[in-house]
Structure 1
Amino acid sequence: MIWLTWRQLRTQAGATYALLAVLAVILATTGSQLLHLYETAGADFLTRLTEADNSLYLVGALAVMALPALIGMFWGAPLITRELDAGTHRLVWNQGVTRTRWLITKLGLTGLAAMAAAGALSLAVSWWAGPIDATADGSSVLAGFYFPRLSPLMFDARGVAPIGHAAFAFTLGVTLGVLIRRTLPAMIVTLVAFITVQVAVPLWVRPALIAPARLTTPISAANFRLWDGENVKVLIDKPGAWTIGQHTIDAAGRSVAAPSWIPDCLGQVRAELDTGCLDRLGRLGYRQLVSYQPAGRFWTFQWYELGIFLALAVLLALFCAWWIRRHVS
């Protein structure tokens, strides 16, 4: 049974691991140069990165985030569905292999291979990007391109969370394949469902895992980040923090809208930001109340998210076992 499962998996696994090996060689070759630049460039490190470094930074992050989705589509969705389509599951069951053993073998071997691929890729990319992550604290003028690793745009491409994402995407694909029983529709639905979950988690689930820290900061030209059309947004002196939300309060600590003269004022000074406008806000007692997650909580969130997605993967696997025993003949 193990040999049969491996024969069915080897094409997808071989292609995936070959691509990972190529990317690993590129990361290993350029990573030592990046580390040397980090150690010698000091505060100018980010400005001295090359276009090749920037491209690899983005490609690496996108690869880690995309791999679980691809595993769900191409490893998970066809795993059981193609056997149901071909009727080969009945042949295996008639040779003394129970449904439970058949499913455990297929899910176990393929799932472990998927988790190993995601873990290896995340480890390699996290190592390579370590110097950039240590410098990109979210407060520099380059913050629009280099994201702190705790930010929602980079969190899924670092640490151990991608292992959980791969396990969940794989079992999600298997489950949808069992339910839909057609490979191509199952692949499409798997992709849509996984992307939906990956959008929902940083918006609603992750912020609720740990109560955010809060601080009140004056509004000034030094920390002004942008005017979003309704509210002033500021940067906080918390390197690498994930800012969850902020709003303006008055001198009495009450939440208020920005004064009506702010839009025109900021519209006039946006190019230079040398601020009668922002200083006037400070003199009138307006401040920003900011909710944020400190950078030091990165690994806590990583382990929480790994546990959540592994638990979801186990639940999906149990559901598949129940469904196959009850509804597949």
Structure 2
Amino acid sequence: MTTATAPVTGALTAPHRLRWLLRLHRPALYVWTAAVVVLTAALLWLGGPLTDAAVHAWRQYDVCRTGATCVYDQDAILRYKDVYQYTTWAVLALPFLVAAWAGAALTGREVESGTAHLAWTQGVSPARWLAAKLAAPAAVAAAGTAVLVALHRWAWLADHGGIDTAKSWSSFETYYANGPLPVALALAGLAAGALAGLATGRALAALAWGMSATLALWGAVHLAAPRLYPAVTRTAGLDHDGPVGSGIVLDSGIVTADGRHLPDPFCGSSAYSTCQALYERIDAVGFFSVYHPRSHYWPLQLLATAPVLAAAALLALAAFVLLRRRTQGKAATA
């Protein structure tokens, strides 16, 4: 009769533990490496040949708008748009991929199968086991995500204003894919998945909870961060077509004579008689807009990233505390 044994990781040196972890999670490492390589190639293609072709096509289109008889490369414009969308959302999906793997494979599957408990009885403490589990994946996830975020920002800047339909800095997907938040979310997803795996002891449940926690954290930061930094308030006369000021808009509408802020009726300029009558009826004197201009980009990014990194640290700490309580309880009853 033979007994399955787990590696005595506590007796191994750091390089041996790293090799053991890489061997244990080799399929996940292959998938992650393939994703990073494919996205890197796609972003280099986007910021190089695709951007050049799209800029050239837009120049052709601008000539056509003057009335000259000509053709332009519409396919190049559409190809740029499609690849930009696919790569942007792929970068934003990376933290959820990390969270799913951390919950399903990193801790959930090993607790469910009993492999973790077997390792704890063969020379490695639970805390050391979890630390070894988190350290290398954290470095790999952070490094891969950071490279792709940097390439995405480079590809987005490559058009130099030559693509009329290029996404603005404040569009939801571009705003997040161009900054450090995906890196912080990847680390938070790793910690959330690991905690979920330890808490549920089920791979599938941990996968769902890890991804849900990452999504909830992102949603909370998205709602809170723009309101933690002072926004710009800009007013305009009723002769404009509506509120002015571009960026991340928090509020906009109509200003009345007594200073009240009302929702924008989306009528347009007071030059139109119907709009003028409407504005007189509600005693409107102008438009207002509360927004963050482009100069606020990095303060907002840092305000969003810092609490996510703090949440990642707290989630990791919670995983260690939970593991300690559960293993101490089992040791006491043994």
TM-score by length of 1: 0.79
In structure 2, the residue matched to 1:317 is 316
1:255 aligned to 2:282?
no
Whether 1:57 and 2:84 are equivalent positions in the alignment is yes
1:171 maps onto 2:170 in alignment: no
Query: Hey, what's the Cα distance between the residues in 2 that align with 1:132 and 1:278?
Result: 39
Aligned to 1:149: 169
The answer as to whether partners of 1:133 and 1:148 remain within 8 angstroms in 2 is no
Cα contact 1:76–1:172 (8 A) shared by 2: yes
Distance 1:168 1:133 in 2: 34
Q: Closer, same or farther in 2 for the Cα pair 1:30/1:322, shift >3 Å?
A: closer
Structure 1 position 184, deviation (Å)? 0.5
1:286 positional shift:
2.7
Give ranges in structure 1 of 5+ residues lacking alignment.
225-233
Aligned to 2:97: 70
Cα distance between partner residues in 2 of 1:111 and 1:99? 18
State the partner residue of 1:211.
Answer: 230
The residue aligned with 1:109 is 136
CA contact 1:72–1:190 (8 Å) conserved in 2: yes
Which residue identity lines up with residue 253 of structure 1 in the other structure? Answer: G
Structure 2 gap segments, 5+ residues each: 1-16, 64-71
Cα RMSD after superposing both structures: 3.2
Matched-pair contact (CA < 8 Å) for 2:252–2:289: yes
Tell me, in whole angstroms, the C-alpha distance in 1 between the residues paired with 2:222 and 2:171: 9
Q: 1:189 maps to what in 2?
A: 209
Distance 2:161 2:97 in 1: 29
Q: Is the 8 A contact 2:181 2:305 kept in 1?
A: yes
Are the equivalent residues in 2 in contact too, given 1:65–1:162 (CA < 8 A)?
A: yes
Instruction: Measure the CA separation in 1 of the matches of 2:38 and 2:315.
Output: 33
Distance 1:44 1:125, change over 3 A: farther
- The equivalent of 2:179 in structure 1 is 159
Q: Residue 34 of structure 1 contacts residue 131 of structure 1 at CA under 8 Å; is this kept in 2?
A: no
- Call closer, same or farther: CA 1:132–1:195 in 2, change over 3 Å: farther
How many residue pairs end up in the alignment?
A: 298
Deviation string for 1:146-176 (max 9, x for gaps)? 5432343432221211100111111111111
Distance in 2, matches of 1:257 and 1:61, equals 33
Aligned residue in 1 for 2:286 = 287
Which residue of 6, 12, 15 corresponds with 2:31?
A: 15
TM superposition shift of 1:191: 2.4
Distance 1:122 1:2, change over 3 A: same
| Contact 2:89-2:173 within 8 A present in 1 as well | no
Q: Which residue of 1 aligns with 2:13?
A: none
Q: Which residue does the alignment assign to 2:4?
A: none
Say if 1:218 and 1:282, in contact at 8 Å, map to a contact too.
no
TM, length-normalised to structure 2: 0.78
Give distance in 1, aligned partners of 2:167 and 2:196: 34
Give, in whole Å, the separation in 1 of the partners of 2:238 and 2:316: 51
- 1:50 aligns to what SS in structure 2? helix
Q: Is 1:160–1:306's contact at 8 Å kept on the other side of the alignment?
A: yes
What SS is found at the alignment partner of 2:172?
A: coil
**Deviation larger for 113-122 or 280-289:** 280-289
Aligned to 1:228: none
Secondary structure in structure 1 of the residue aligned to 2:252: strand
AA aligned to 2:96 is A
Structure 2 Cα separation of the partners of residues 104 and 150 of structure 1: 38
- In the TM superposition, what whole-angstrom CA distance separates every residue of 1:13-69 from its partner, at most 9, and x where no partner exists? 211221221222232234223554687767969x97611100011111111111111
- For residues 162 and 228 of structure 2, the distance between their equivalents in structure 1, rounded to whole angstroms, comes to 26
Which whole-Å CA distance do the structure 2 matches of 1:102 and 1:85 have between them? 16
